């Protein structure tokens, strides 16, 4: 159900957006030089794209993208280990309860040392006096995973804010006139027409002998590609944000189910209710594996 939210194309689109901003400063510098030169001839210039803000945003987004790459790997591996531990415990718990002579006994009488997760190195110094200690520790670790997902979401949100804000304003500025004293020709068409500027990633060499009509057509096409990148990047950030929201929700469902168990609960009742935890976590098992796979491409 969540495949489209975590689709690889979402990460590819966001990387394309980040790469575009990183490659933009050279073109912005030429835009400012050209605008200054035209202004000195007496034209009343409309504000050019904010080169300083865009450059700062490019640096911030590059750092954010690297953080996302690290978080994706950690989150995928952490989630996979947690799912394995919870699944292993529930499976072993069901086996223990199935062979007990008195399933009406409280779960507190079960020896916690017989569970693999408790004996593993990853358990560390966590409490292990009884089954309730195990349930509480798993609850805590699900909470840690929630925090990791929230960190991931905050990084995606950071990108989304720049996409909706400064990136859109940059594209919009290219469609405005160059100055207030001439005709309504968009800035981008003037830039391209003068043969001085080409936007990065467009495969356009402004030094080539294009005709004026060709340059204008390319300018319009490239602005269209930028609007398309804005739309796709916005959708990608929204999808990843929705995925994180759903993941946190499912983890919260699992935590709530774990918390319904108590020391006096009978083995029979726990056997029936405890596997419900996996109903929430199974939904994201494939997503964890996909995150681990995608981390290799960062």
Report if residue 104 sits inside a domain.
yes
CB-based burial label for 49 (10 Å; 0-12, 13-18, 19+): buried
CB 195 within 8 A of CB 218: no
How many CB atoms within 10 Å of residue 28? 19
pLDDT in the model for residue 182: 66
pLDDT in the model for residue 2: 61
pLDDT in the model for residue 126: 94
How many CB atoms within 10 Å of residue 298? 14
Question: HEC string of 199-240?
Answer: CCCCCCCCCCCCCHHHHHHHHHHHHHHHHHHHHHHHHHHHHH
Domain count, the chain: 1
Could you read off the pLDDT tens digit of each residue along the chain, which spans 298 residues? 566 777 888 999 999 999 999 999 888 888 888 888 888 887 777 787 888 889 899 999 999 999 998 888 889 888 999 999 999 999 999 999 988 788 889 999 999 999 999 999 999 999 999 999 999 999 999 999 999 999 999 999 999 999 999 899 999 999 988 877 767 889 899 889 888 788 999 988 888 889 989 999 999 999 999 999 999 999 999 999 998 998 999 999 999 999 999 999 999 999 999 999 988 888 878 778 888 887 777 7
Report if residue 2 sits inside a domain.
no
Q: Which residue has the tokens 């991931």?
A: 152
Report if residue 158 sits inside a domain.
yes
Q: Which two tokens stand for residue 11?
A: 């990460």
Q: Report the half-sphere exposure of 93 (CA within 13 A, side-chain side).
A: 28
Q: pTM for the complete prediction? A: 0.87
Question: HEC string of the chain?
Answer: CCCCCCCHHHHHHHHHHHHHHHHCHHHHHHHHHHHHHHHCCCCCECCCCCHHHHHHHHHHHHHHHHHHHHHHHHHHHHHHHHHHHHHHHHHHHHHHHHHCCCCCCEHHHCCHHHCHHHHCHHHCCCCCCCHHHHHHHHHHHHHHHHHHHHHHHHHHHHHHHHHHHHHHHHHHHHCCECECCCCCCEHHHHHHHCCCCCCCCCCCCCCCCCCHHHHHHHHHHHHHHHHHHHHHHHHHHHHHHHHHHHHHHHHHHHHHHHHCCCCCCEHHHHHHHCCHHHHHHHHHHHHHHHHHHHHCCC
d(CA 167, CA 158): 13
What are the φ and ψ backbone dihedral angles of 177, each rounded to 5 degrees? Answer: -65, 155
Report long-range pairs for 118-122 (Cβ below 8 Å, ≥24 apart). Answer: 120/85, 122/81, 122/85
Q: Which residue has the tokens 């794209």?
A: 49
Domain that holds residue 179: 8-295
Report if residue 197 sits inside a domain.
yes
Report if residue 226 sits inside a domain.
yes
């Amino acid at each position: 159900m969540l495949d489209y939210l975590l689709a690889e194309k979402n990460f590819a689109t966001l990387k394309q957006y980040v790469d575009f901003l990183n490659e933009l400063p050279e073109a912005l510098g030429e835009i400012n030089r050209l605008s200054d030169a035209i202004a000195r001839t007496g034209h009343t210039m409309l504000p050019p794209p904010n080169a300083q803000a865009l450059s700062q945003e490019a640096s911030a987004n590059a750092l954010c993208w690297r953080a996302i790459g690290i978080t994706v790997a950690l989150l995928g591996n952490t989630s996979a280990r947690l799912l394995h531990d919870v699944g292993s415990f529930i499976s072993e718990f069901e086996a223990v309860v199935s062979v007990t002579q008195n399933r009406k006994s409280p779960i507190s009488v079960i020896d916690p040392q017989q569970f693999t997760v408790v004996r593993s190195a990853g358990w560390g110094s966590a409490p292990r006096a009884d089954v309730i200690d195990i349930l509480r520790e798993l609850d805590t670790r699900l909470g840690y995973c929630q925090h990791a997902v929230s960190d991931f979401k905050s990084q995606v949100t950071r990108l989304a804010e720049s996409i909706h804000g400064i990136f859109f304003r940059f594209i919009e500025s290219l469609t405005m006139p160059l100055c207030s004293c001439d005709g309504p020709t968009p800035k981008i068409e003037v830039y391209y027409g003068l043969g001085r500027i080409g936007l990065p990633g467009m495969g356009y060499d402004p030094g080539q002998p294009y005709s004026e009509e060709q340059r204008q057509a390319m300018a319009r096409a490239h602005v269209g590609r930028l609007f398309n990148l804005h739309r796709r990047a916005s959708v990608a950030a929204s999808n990843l944000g929705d995925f994180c929201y759903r993941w946190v929700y499912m983890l919260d469902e699992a935590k709530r189910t774990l918390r319904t168990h108590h020391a006096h609960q009978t083995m029979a009742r726990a056997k029936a209710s405890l596997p419900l935890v996996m109903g929430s976590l199974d939904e994201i098992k494939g997503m964890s594996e996909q995150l681990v796979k995608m981390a290799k491409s960062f």
